[in-house]
Homo-oligomer: A and B are copies of this chain.
């Protein structure tokens, strides 16, 4: 008999439900007796002891459903050691919930921030297994995260929609794709959507190079240009600023996001009207695609296996086409970034895509 807690933390994404279903199905099918405690709204539920008992029927039919049946929230790692508004010790509260329910294990689904806290709980002595969730695919220790491919699908669809209107009107269009620190999502969506220019955090851009690329397209007879801009795209000048200086600059910015600034600069230099589209939160919404459903189910079933064997302190990841376990202390606090010299970047350049560098 195993008593297992489950929680989803951080920004939601596709296939969270599929992954939890995988964990639970594999435990149930093993014949092991289990009791399931679903903490509500991420670490919040663990801190405040808010949970609901779950059974297998709660996981029926959710393979295809977006979001998370447990709810989620962001509880920043930075302040996890600080007391909450009511003076409550958050870490002690989480441990209290765990021990009070006499849990054998806590399964945590989340991204970078989530993993830092998960590792802290491991250090505090809790049995933890985690699953790598993020549309950014920037988790260290795994080649792939679930949510990523589904987000690429939606971002690509957005670019597809813009393509017809850009073509009809002969316009320059910017599509801003999620990705504050890493460019996997904008890069893949841009390549899939046939973007002409892709600006990612890893490759600071030069506005003149962007204008050159637009003019070159015009010279070759193209009526329109589509630019994918990562949320965290940065110019060469700004890349030289210190973190603090850059933050101050952003705080003072006239526009809600970097795309509008880039649009304004291009407009000034080319005299052409530039339109901006910001699909935003839709990129983390909707049903998971077939890839993520299979992938998250596989990861979930392996998490179930670890629990059955009593192997704790791991994230279940994916390396060289195999599902693997990765020690949590190796994962926590590290970011997987996109090498600006990666093969895929070179291939994209060979396809004629400009990175503004």
Are the C-beta atoms of B277 and A281 separated by less than 8 Å?
Answer: yes
Interface string of A266-308 (1 = CB under 8 A from B): 0000000001111111111111011101100110111011000
In whole angstroms, how far apart are the Cα atoms of A223 and B40 in the complex? Answer: 12
Inter-chain contacts of A347 with B (CB < 8 A): 26, 297-298, 301-302, 323
Contacting A67 at CB < 8 Å: which of B168, B193, B291, B349? B168
Answer whether residue A12 sits at the interface, using C-beta atoms and an 8 A cutoff.
Answer: yes
Closest Cβ of chain B to A49, distance in Å, is: 18
Are the C-beta atoms of A291 and B165 separated by less than 8 Å?
Answer: no
Answer whether residue A83 sits at the interface, using C-beta atoms and an 8 A cutoff.
Answer: no
Answer whether residue A68 sits at the interface, using C-beta atoms and an 8 A cutoff.
Answer: yes
Answer whether residue A313 sits at the interface, using C-beta atoms and an 8 A cutoff.
Answer: no
Inter-chain contacts of A158 with B (CB < 8 A): 282
Interface string of A1-34 (1 = CB under 8 A from B): 0000000100110101000001001101110000
Are the C-beta atoms of A277 and B277 separated by less than 8 Å?
Answer: no
Closest Cβ of chain B to A42, distance in Å, is: 10
Closest Cβ of chain B to A235, distance in Å, is: 22
Are the C-beta atoms of A320 and B322 separated by less than 8 Å?
Answer: no
Q: Please judge, given known A-B contacts A194-B64, A280-B277, whether A350 and B289 are in contact too, CB under 8 Å.
A: no
Q: Please judge, given known A-B contacts A285-B163, A297-B347, A321-B320, whether A71 and B277 are in contact too, CB under 8 Å.
A: no
Answer whether residue A50 sits at the interface, using C-beta atoms and an 8 A cutoff.
Answer: no
Are the C-beta atoms of A164 and B67 separated by less than 8 Å?
Answer: yes
Copies per complex?
Answer: 4
Answer whether residue A352 sits at the interface, using C-beta atoms and an 8 A cutoff.
Answer: yes
Answer whether residue A340 sits at the interface, using C-beta atoms and an 8 A cutoff.
Answer: no
> Can you list 18 pairs linking A and B with CB atoms under 8 Å apart?
A11-B169, A12-B165, A29-B352, A63-B194, A66-B164, A152-B294, A158-B282, A160-B285, A161-B282, A164-B285, A173-B281, A188-B294, A191-B294, A192-B291, A275-B281, A277-B282, A301-B350, A323-B343
In whole angstroms, how far apart are the Cα atoms of A323 and B223 in the complex? Answer: 33
Tell me how many residues of A have a C-beta within 8 Å of chain B: 88
Q: Please judge, given known A-B contacts A280-B277, A281-B275, A302-B347, whether A293 and B156 are in contact too, CB under 8 Å.
A: yes
Inter-chain contacts of A276 with B (CB < 8 A): 280
Are the C-beta atoms of B351 and A286 separated by less than 8 Å?
Answer: no
Are the C-beta atoms of A284 and B165 separated by less than 8 Å?
Answer: yes
Extra 6 A-B pairs, beta carbons < 8 Å, given A30-B350, A73-B169: A26-B347, A26-B351, A160-B286, A191-B293, A193-B290, A289-B289
Tell me the chain A residues, 198-234 only, with Cβ under 8 Å from chain B: 221, 223
In whole angstroms, how far apart are the Cα atoms of A343 and B158 in the complex? Answer: 34
Are the C-beta atoms of B161 and A351 separated by less than 8 Å?
Answer: no
Inter-chain contacts of A350 with B (CB < 8 A): 25-26, 29-30, 301, 304-305
Inter-chain contacts of A278 with B (CB < 8 A): 278, 280
Answer whether residue A310 sits at the interface, using C-beta atoms and an 8 A cutoff.
Answer: no
Closest Cβ of chain B to A41, distance in Å, is: 7
Closest Cβ of chain B to A284, distance in Å, is: 6
Are the C-beta atoms of B289 and A153 separated by less than 8 Å?
Answer: yes
Answer whether residue A87 sits at the interface, using C-beta atoms and an 8 A cutoff.
Answer: no
Contacting A12 at CB < 8 Å: which of B29, B169, B302? B169
Are the C-beta atoms of A343 and B322 separated by less than 8 Å?
Answer: yes
Interface string of A157-195 (1 = CB under 8 A from B): 110111111011110010000000000000011011110
